Copies of this chain bind each other. A is one copy, B any other.
Amino acid sequence: MISFLSKLTGPQNDGMKRILGIFVLLMMVYVVTAIINPNFLGSYNQENLIRRTSLFGILGVGVAFVIITRGIDLSLGSVVCLVGVGVPWLIIDQGWPVPVVILIALGLPAVIGFCHGLLITKLKLQPFIVTLCGLLMYRGITRGFTGDQTAGFGTELKGLRWFATGEIPLRIGLDIPVPAVILMIIAILAGIFLNRTIYGRYMLALGNNEEAAKFSGINTDRMIILAYVISSGLAGLAGLLFVLDVNLAQPVDFGNFYELYAIAAAVLGGCSLRGGTGTILGVIIGTALLQVLRNMMNMAFLGFQRAEFAVIGAVILSGVIADELAKRAVARKRAAQKQK
């Protein structure tokens, strides 16, 4: 198991250490919430948590690739909106056939990512600006073509919605939500891609030192474009699953701020915005932490619901501070030992 985990975290040898702090924090939040409200551990709640983590986790894994190549993708939330609103709109309001719409939902975001990548590599535009324009455009376009109307499936398409709402029964009293299976597959593929294939290696290298990667004969542009394709593509998939789960999507706020959640999860999970580091497992733990914190507010501190974000912010901040202080204490101890 450990060795499997370390395969997911890859050759950056401090990968596991970076994750440890955030993992401890996650466990602490778990324990505190469970003590205050035992229902927290109930299977219904745990399944909800797993489902939410899975949906947001897909976004996080996607953006991690971009962050590793030292980029940023602010357009994720708007891609979620485009797909999440577009799919029910096309199927229900416009009556397009389901397979065609699904193909568009998965293909169009990849094309969007490709365009982002082209602009960033070939025209050397700043990722922040390109994807900020994406953030503005895709939501604006969605609002335009739907006339700001809510789109949803009503009571139709139960079959397709299974991908988001379905559960696979296990013997252990906990059913596994289907999105969790999807995330698991994505995470394993992403982990292998990042740590065991040359392309992942190239991304890590160029994220740290683009020039060195170029000097080693790596087509860095192609790798960067690929990272944006992965990021947007997974955002499209997440958007599809989100709307299949919630069953309705409003152009004006569907997916709002999700890019920040995704980036925060990735950074909490050990990705540095300076590029070159990141682990898939860490991103998923980071996502879980954010979701569990929100759940905790509803489960244990309902009276403080208004201050929910304040609490989340404070917990994250104290978590990273404690993590940093702990690391320093360890380093000091080691230095002291050395002296003897």
Interface of chain A, main secondary structure: helix
Bound CA–CA A272/B132 (angstroms): 14
Contacts of A139 in B (CB 8 A): 309-310
Contacts of A147 in B (CB 8 A): 306
Count of residues in A whose CB is under 8 Å from the partner chain: 46
A214-237 contacts to B, CB under 8 A, are none
A210 to chain B minimum Cβ distance, whole angstroms, is: 11
The reply to whether the CB of A141 lies closer than 8 angstroms to some CB of chain B is yes
B123 and A324 contacting across the interface, CB-CB below 8 Å = yes
Contacts of A321 in B (CB 8 A): 119, 123, 125
11 contacts between A and B (CB under 8 A): A119-B321, A129-B268, A132-B264, A133-B314, A133-B317, A135-B313, A136-B312, A137-B310, A140-B309, A141-B310, A144-B307
Q: A311's closest neighbor in chain B, by CB? A: B140
Q: A261's closest neighbor in chain B, by CB? A: B132
Contact of A129 among B306, B311, B320 (CB under 8 A): B320
The reply to whether the CB of A316 lies closer than 8 angstroms to some CB of chain B is yes
The reply to whether the CB of A213 lies closer than 8 angstroms to some CB of chain B is no
Q: A132's closest neighbor in chain B, by CB? A: B264
Contacts A125-B321, A126-B267, A143-B306 known; list 16 others, CB within 8 Å: A123-B321, A123-B325, A124-B324, A125-B320, A129-B317, A129-B320, A136-B310, A136-B313, A137-B309, A137-B313, A139-B310, A140-B309, A141-B307, A143-B310, A144-B306, A147-B306
Bound CA–CA A126/B158 (angstroms): 44
Q: A145's closest neighbor in chain B, by CB? A: B307
The reply to whether the CB of A282 lies closer than 8 angstroms to some CB of chain B is no
A108-160 contacts to B, CB under 8 A, are 119, 123-126, 128-130, 132-141, 143-144, 147-148
Bound CA–CA A307/B125 (angstroms): 24
Q: A148's closest neighbor in chain B, by CB? A: B306
